[in-house]
Amino acid sequence: MKLSSRQAFWYAAFLLIFTAIAAYTVANKTWWFPPLASVQGGEIDNLFMITLVITGIVFIAVHIVLAYFVWRYRGQADRKAAYVTHNTPFEISAAATVAVALVILVGGGTTLWTKIQSPPPADAFTVEVWAEQFRWTFHYPGADGRMGNVDVRFISDDNPYGLDPNDPYAKDDIFATEMHVPYGKPIAVILRSKDVLHSFFLPHFRMKMDVVPGMKTRMWFTPTQAGVFEIPCAELCGVGHYIMRGVLTVESPEQFNEWISQQTPVGMSQ
């Protein structure tokens, strides 16, 4: 049974080494999330950490027990296994423990989900987004302060963003290739796609929402810092998926006003 001991030793050793490396690199945050930039993202990160602690304990405990059993109960010629078929009290208490942990996670998760999915606050600053293969375009109201209607049916060579020709508010709207928002307000985003599925992903804000042709989808978040952030597309949208990059600049209201005043309205005035 020498071979058995050697196998048991290495098996147990591997399980423990793997667990140690995994636990260390995660606890040390060696490779971690991008710097946080939103209120909602902070709450998501908190729930993430709670989940990480609970699942981390289970992960480490199971691997230590597994390694111990592999070593302790390695086969020996002079020994016979115990005849134990089940243990109902153990099963019930184990299941109950898991259930309690899940109640905590489900409670935290659904509460946070409700907050994030509720309508944005009334003072939110709204940006509309057109997604298409393979770029983002950002839609702002013009001097009238009202966003014009858009619809994919109105799109033509002269009207690339599908503004409603009968909507008076559409006449001075602004379309930009970059997204700028004023710091200090919640930001609401309304998403539309011209062609296929896309997904509007803000890694620093921990936000993501698919963009679906034929539908309007929404998200909102509250930035906690100014800066320039990238917007990758997170839903496979074709061969250019990996270069579909947008840029979000969160800046002071003054800087934002200056930026928007430099944008040329492309509305229906032509």
Partner 1 sequence: MATAEPAAQTHHHEPQSFWTKYVFSQDHKVIAMQYMITALIMGFIGMVMSWIFRIQLAWPDHNLPFMRFLMPTNMESGTLQTPGYYMLVTMHGTIMIFFLLTAILTGGFGNFLIPLQVGARDMAFPFLNMLSYWFYFLSCVVITVSLFVSTGAASAGWTSYPPLSALAKATPGSGLGQDLWLIAIALFIVASTMGSLNYVTTALNMRTKGMTLMRMPLTVWGIVVAAVLGLFAFPALFAGAVLLLLDRHLGTSFFLPHLVLGGEHIVRNGGSPLLWQHLFWFLGHPEVYILILPAMGITSEILSNGARKPIFGYKVMVGSLVAIAFLSFIVWGHHMFVSGMNPWLGFAFVITTLIIAIPSAIKTFNWLGTLWKGNIRFTTPMLYAIGFISTFVTGGLTGIFLGNSALDIPLHDTYFVVAHFHVVMGLSSVFGIFGGIYYWFPKMTGKMMSERWGKVHFWLTFIGSYGVFWTMHYLGFMGMPRRYFNYESFQFLPPSMHALQIIITISALVVGAAQLIFVVNFLYSWLRGPKAPDNPWQATTLEWQAPTPPPHGNWGEHLPEVHRWPYDYSVPGASADFVPQTVPVEVEPSGEHHRRAVAVNGHTNGHSNGHHA
Output the smallest distance, CB 269 to partner 1, in A: 22
Query: CA 200: distance to chain centroid?
Result: 9
Q: Is the dihedral of CA 188, 191, 181, 204 positive or negative?
A: positive
Nearer Cβ to partner 1 (73/252)? 73
Q: Which residues contact 258 (CB under 8 A, 6 or more apart)?
A: none
Could you tell me which of 215, 235, 224 has the C-alpha nearest to residue 187?
224
Q: Which residue has the tokens 């928002």?
A: 181
Nearer Cβ to partner 1 (129/234)? 234
Output the smallest distance, CB 145 to partner 1, in A: 28
Nearer Cβ to partner 1 (59/260)? 59
- Give CA–CA dist 221/37, Å, rounded: 10
What the block records as the tokens of 193 is: 């796609």
Nearer Cβ to partner 1 (55/257)? 55
- Give CA–CA dist 194/156, Å, rounded: 12
Q: Which residues contact 153 (CB under 8 A, 6 or more apart)?
A: 162
Output the smallest distance, CB 180 to partner 1, in A: 18
Output the smallest distance, CB 170 to partner 1, in A: 18
Output the smallest distance, CB 168 to partner 1, in A: 24
Nearer Cβ to partner 1 (63/142)? 63
- Give CA–CA dist 244/194, Å, rounded: 14
Nearer Cβ to partner 1 (170/234)? 234
Output the smallest distance, CB 257 to partner 1, in A: 27
